[in-house]
Structure 1
Amino acid sequence: MSVVRAFRLVVIAVLSLVLLAWVGRVLFGVDQRGPLLPFLAPLSFDAVMDALAVPLLAGVAWGALLTFGGSSWDSTSKTVKGPVAMATVIESSTTGLSVNDVPQHQLYLEVKPTDGQRYVSQCRLLASGRDAWMIKPGVAVPVHYDLNDPDFVTPAEHAEPEVRRAVLQWRIERGLVEPRLVRPLLDGRSEHASVIDLRPTGRHQDGQSELEVRLLVSPDGQDPFETTSRVFVYPDSVSELQVGSPVRAYWMPGDRENVAIAVGRGIGR
């Protein structure tokens, strides 16, 4: 447990005790002319009731912490920039906050570091309706983690080379990438391509469905060519692979048969 989180819990506990003592005094006190609490001995109960300073301040602080604090003291301000690991979404809910009409989500994740045991952590991120499939239970997402402070993780940016490698390695280990497509994804050239046709193969793995995709690849300085590739995608992201959709194609020059594709986050590469 982080120091900040522990301090927040202590503050909430103290404020709760103050409120409970005040409520108990009001409801069950026999001689209500006495002091509210020992440390308020100079004040009479009537004076405290007139001012309501202690219960009012404690109540406002207590309510603010529970309503807006949650884990926000840590998760919205703390940034973890440690190693990259894949994490599986256990639970997702909206926090009630939004930025530019994009809602913020609270995620609880099972983190799977390469140098330690699995553990449960959490983070907050912004996700529009178009990206909502990425935060559903069972979906794997890349995160930065710190084993010395496992309470919170930071969502990793897919544009970072380290993150792309981690996602690809995870997909290879899970059997989501054909062996013939590993080298193009790791070392191949990235080219623009578009979808000509696609069909499901009937194979499923880790909640994803495999599609056979016919592509028109347009290499820089060369004539376009057609080829066929396969990719596993989450059902909610199939819309990104419609006929005419732009994709990224990865291929080794001279080998037009083994072309890998990537669309959006977590697909291909």
Structure 2
Amino acid sequence: MIRTLRTLALAGAVLAVGCYLWHGLTYEPGPYEPDYLAWLNGYLALPFTALTVVVTVFAFTGAGVVTALTGRNTGDFRNAPMGLGTVKSFGHTGVSVNDQPQIRIEFSVEGTDGKVFDAAAKMVVPLTELALLAPGVVLPVRYRPDRPGIVELDLSGDSTAAQRVMNESLIRKGFTTQEKVDIAARGIAAQAVVQSLTVPGEIRDGYSKVAVGLAVTRPDGSIFTTRSEKFLPPSAIGNVQVGRIVTAHYLPENEQEVVLSIPVNA
């Protein structure tokens, strides 16, 4: 759609300039008309109007602007594969839409095949949400394998697909297992109190392994104790300190296998 609009704008500009030149070159002044009227006439508005239209179309179909105006991904990325983008840095581009700044975000992206590549995205971010952007934040992105340097933040709202991509990544890295993913999906959600926390010292891809002792409250109000191991980024360790209340999932037939639910960007 964007390519079509830009092509139409450029074609219209070429036609407008062509009409102006054709009129000037074929103009035959009357006996009382000066020669300069061949170029200084109403046709002069055509190239100026065409230039304005081209600039406007290219500005409003720029990266991030279309998504800001429509709230959807552009056609090139709408059905593209979903990956996980970890924010490396970001900065203003100097463009604003409705007084909201356009931001260029540098990502380290993990694709569906596990390969990691650098990419950038431009998006219009409300001022109230700028504080949510920080290095290390993980966001679902859409990418094209044939254009790996450019991505768009996923705007589909498909949280199930985003969670599936996250689970596949965690399994590949050895942070979790398919069994634990199934427990998180099918198990009973319950509140648990952290009773103990130990750090064995194992580190994978910057994530630390923690062993958490839990007192889990069943739906009927009774309590059972268990132990859960999980790999967490340094920023999330505070969520499993002793005394904290966390969300846990378990299957009634196997209460000793408990899976903690810690937000990715905790």
Q: Gaps (5+ residues) in structure 1?
A: 16-36, 48-53
Distance 1:119 1:9 in 2: 30
- Provide the secondary structure at the position in 2 that maps to 1:169: helix
Secondary structure, in 3 states, of the residue corresponding to 1:220? coil
Cα distance in 1 for residues equivalent to 2:130 and 2:199: 25
- Partners of 2:63 and 2:105 lie apart in 1 by 11
CA deviations 1:202-237 (Å, max 9, x no partner) are 222233222222323222114122322122222233
Displacement of 1:124: 3.1
Q: For the aligned residues, what is the CA RMSD? A: 5.1
Q: Indicate the structure (1 or 2) with the bigger Cα radius of gyration.
A: 2
Contact 1:200 1:209 in 2 (8 A): yes
Secondary structure class of the residue paired with 1:227: strand
Q: Distance in 1 between matches of 2:130 and 2:240?
A: 17
8 Å contact 1:108–1:123 — kept in the other structure? no
* Cα distance in 2, alignment partners of residues 122 and 217 from structure 1: 42
Look up the SS of the partner of 1:153 in the other structure: strand
Q: CA deviation at 1:70?
A: 4.3
Q: Provide TM-score, normalisation by structure 2.
A: 0.60
User: Where do 1:92-131 residues align within 5 Å?
Assistant: 92-94=90-92, 105-109=103-107, 110=109, 112-113=111-112, 120=119, 122=121, 124=123, 126=125, 128=129, 131=132
Pairing 1:132–2:172 present: no
* Match in the other structure for 2:2: 4
Larger fraction in strand:
2
State the alpha-carbon separation in 1 of the partners of residues 4 and 238 from structure 2: 44
Q: 1:86, 1:170 within 8 Å by CA — same for their partners in 2?
A: no
| Partners of 1:82 and 1:145 within 8 A in 2 | no
Q: Deviations over 1:66-121 (max 9, x none)?
A: 6x87413334334255376323336533557699xx9874334436245x997956
Is the 2:119–2:151 Cα contact (8 Å) retained in structure 1? no
Listed as ranges, the gaps of 5+ residues in structure 2 are 14-19, 28-36, 42-46
TM-score (norm 1): 0.59
- Between Structure 1 and Structure 2, how many residues are aligned? 241
Instruction: For 1:257, give the aligned amino acid.
Output: Q
Q: How does 1:38-77 map to 2 (within 5 A)?
A: 70-76=62-68, 77=70
Identity among equivalent pairs (%):
18
- What secondary structure does 1:259 align onto? strand
CA distance in 1, matches of 2:202, 2:124: 31
Q: Which residue of 1 aligns with 2:85?
A: 88
- 1:123/1:236 Cα in 2 relative to 1: closer, same or farther (>3 Å)? farther
